[in-house]
Amino acid sequence: MNKRILLTIPIMAALGAFAGAQTRDAQLPHLEKRGLVTQLIVDGKPFLVLGGELHNSSSSSHGYMKPVWPQLAALQLNTVLLPVAWETIEPTEGKFDFTCVDQLLEGARENNLRLVLLWFGAWKNTYSSYVPAWVKTNTERFPRVQMSDGRSTERLSPFSKAVRDADAGAFAKLMGHLRSVDGDRHTVLMVQVENEVGVIPESRDHSAVANLAFSSPVPATLTSFLAKHRAELDTELRGVWEAAGGKTTGAWQDVFGKNPLTDDLFMTWQYATFIQQVAATGKAQYPLPMFANAALIRPNYEPGQYNSGGPLPHSIDLWHAGAPALDFLSPDIYFNEFALWAGRYARPGNPLFIPETQGGAIAASNALYAFGQLSAIGFSPFGIDDQGNLPLDLAGITNPSERSDNSAVKNVYVALSRLAPLISEKQKTGGITAALMEGEAQRSARLYPGDYIANITRAGRSATGERLAAMFIQTGPNEFLVAGSGDAQITFSSDKPGPPIVGIESIDEEFYENGAWVPRRRMNGDEDSQGQSLRLYANDLALGRIYRIRLYRYR
């Protein structure tokens, strides 16, 4: 073999490996703008995460999980969200043990489930309870957030480079391991970096290093981002910034004013830029989509009464500026005003993914609304491993009334998984819409499917104020599939040019059989008030029933 060939073989091998890696990366789960929306693409196709998040400590035990996996599959989840804790994978500094991760992958694969991993690194619900003992006990090397009276807290400092590098280092090892064991299987779809960060009960860190940063200039990366995106900024953020003069230089209180929100924005920047390092270091190993989640704010709460520094609606712009390695920010929605909170996160540049929310009956309506109206990429009730079979302490609850009956989650996931290809297709073109009626006060709702107006009012059991949703998917100029989660009566009108009166040509109930929606009864009599309205029933999802309605217009 001559010299030339000898040199060429390694180069070609390297090029081949590079091309291979590139093709493989293009096939990894990723986010992609398709038509009007950003979708999660898995194995080349849009994927709606019909998820559920485990209680915090469930995934730490293979024994605990063994009987749980099939239960999760039986619930018709396609994805499980579960924590991987720093202390589990790096119990001794620099020595990594991925047995637990591998067992989780195995459990998921055996049950045909995908995973979204939650990296419980430096912070979990503001605290640092899941960090390894060698980090927790060495407060000199790994400093803490401090209170204004000088007391230390159980929270690692987001200002510490040592904390950041140790966290990012462990996370990078995790992502590297995932690439090696799952890079061609795609069991893991996405990763949440940390969990519900922020400080509480004071609005900011008062350590010496934090005080110094607070009186130092706001980084130019942030001020130039604000200036460049002024027109699109969150109105609350823009309001405080402009009220303080809209400056692009100065310390935090010069730029954002002497008000409590400034403390929140200051901490936000610190957490965002810390997490940026962790996420970017992890992505360099294995570039899966990544996100951070927020504990939301109760009305009129001040920073410090809520997690000050988390990815809240008013600070999403700071996260976009400081943590571009994150693909989106997510709300954990435990409040009843689901549409309000989900809507604040479903915005341009931030696809909606809800990693934690209430399960039980209300989840069915919320899921229909999230996918149908807000083009969500995923929905995931929390504590999904409690199927009513766990002792209360293992379920993480103290009161039996807190148990969720997740049969409604199962029913809506069955419907959504059957409709998923159509939903994904219609999300791209706007041919899907949904309404959510959330409280007794909300007696009616209006939707605009195609050229029509759907006037939805409560009926039957829903008359007392139960949550309900109705989703319309356009399948032709005058034809729609309708899925609902409660008792409702729907009449139709139109405000488009043309004949003014809308009639119902036909309504068929349809059931899913052998991979297709098949009509059963034609409902043009009592069931639809002799062609005057479409009636949805509370048990539609349980029965697996949807409706195909055809409308027409006349004078």
Residue number, 150 or 400, with CB nearest to ligand DGJ? 400
Residue number, 57 or 530, with CB nearest to ligand DGJ? 57
Residue number, 273 or 380, with CB nearest to ligand DGJ? 380
* Min separation Cβ 65 and ligand DGJ, Å: 17
Token pair of 102, please?
A: 């591998």
* Min separation Cβ 333 and ligand DGJ, Å: 10
Report the C-alpha gap between 332 and 405 in whole angstroms.
20
User: Contacting ligand DGJ (CB under 6 A), which of 98, 286, 306, 382?
Assistant: 382
* Min separation Cβ 312 and ligand DGJ, Å: 14
192 three-class SS: strand
Residue number, 321 or 342, with CB nearest to ligand DGJ? 342
User: Contacting ligand DGJ (CB under 6 A), which of 38, 39, 56, 281?
Assistant: 56
Lay out the site mask for ligand DGJ across 255-284 (x = CB under 6 A, - = otherwise).
------------------------------
* Min separation Cβ 54 and ligand DGJ, Å: 10
Helix %, strand %, coil % for the chain, to 5? 40, 30, 35
DSSP state, residue 523:
-
Token pair of 548, please?
A: 């195909």
User: Contacting ligand DGJ (CB under 6 A), which of 332, 510, 528, 540?
Assistant: 332
User: Contacting ligand DGJ (CB under 6 A), which of 182, 196, 327, 510?
Assistant: 196
* Min separation Cβ 311 and ligand DGJ, Å: 12
What is the amino acid identity at position 243?
A
Count residues binding ligand DGJ (CB under 6 A): 7
Q: Identify the helix (H) or strand (E) that includes residue 17.
A: helix 3-27
What is the amino acid identity at position 70?
P
Residue number, 126 or 187, with CB nearest to ligand DGJ? 126
What are the backbone angles phi and psi of residue 466, rounded to the nearest 5°?
-60, 145
Single out the residue of 326, 341, 244 nearest to residue 280, CA to CA.
Answer: 326
Q: Report CA-CA distances (Å) from 221 to 231, 237, 324.
A: 17, 16, 12
Residue number, 56 or 404, with CB nearest to ligand DGJ? 56
Residue number, 121 or 484, with CB nearest to ligand DGJ? 121
Farthest-apart Cα atoms in the chain, separation? 88
**Could you write out the three-class secondary structure of 79-106?**
EEEEEEEHHHHCCECCECCCHHHHHHHH
User: Contacting ligand DGJ (CB under 6 A), which of 202, 356, 385, 386?
Assistant: 356
Residue number, 196 or 264, with CB nearest to ligand DGJ? 196
DSSP state, residue 65:
H
Residue number, 354 or 502, with CB nearest to ligand DGJ? 354
Residue number, 56 or 157, with CB nearest to ligand DGJ? 56
Please tell me whether residue 223 binds ligand DGJ under the rule CB under 6 A. no
User: Contacting ligand DGJ (CB under 6 A), which of 128, 195, 474, 533?
Assistant: 195
Report the C-alpha gap between 125 and 295 in whole angstroms.
8
- Other C-beta atoms closer than 10 Å to the C-beta of 321 total 22
CB 296 within 8 A of CB 341: yes
- Return the residues of window 125-184 that contact ligand DGJ according to CB under 6 A: 125
**Residues 6+ away with beta carbon under 8 Å from 316:** 234, 329, 345, 347, 350
Residue number, 336 or 475, with CB nearest to ligand DGJ? 336
Q: Tokens 């991925």 — which residue?
A: 98
479 three-class SS: strand
**Residues 6+ away with beta carbon under 8 Å from 72:** 52, 80, 111, 113, 384, 385
Residue number, 114 or 124, with CB nearest to ligand DGJ? 124
* Min separation Cβ 296 and ligand DGJ, Å: 10
Report the C-alpha gap between 11 and 503 in whole angstroms.
70
* Min separation Cβ 74 and ligand DGJ, Å: 23
Report the C-alpha gap between 374 and 369 in whole angstroms.
7
What is the amino acid identity at position 367?
A
The CB-nearest residue to ligand DGJ is 196
Instruction: Specify the pairing of strand 79-85 against strand 114-124.
Output: parallel
Q: Report CA-CA distances (Å) from 176 to 192, 236, 288.
A: 16, 39, 11
* Min separation Cβ 340 and ligand DGJ, Å: 19
Residue number, 205 or 356, with CB nearest to ligand DGJ? 356
Alpha helices per DSSP H over 377-458: 392-395, 407-429
Q: Report CA-CA distances (Å) from 529 to 153, 319, 483, 523, 535.
A: 64, 52, 19, 9, 8
Report the C-alpha gap between 371 and 83 in whole angstroms.
24
* Interface ranges with ligand DGJ (CB under 6 A): 56, 125, 195-196, 332, 356, 382
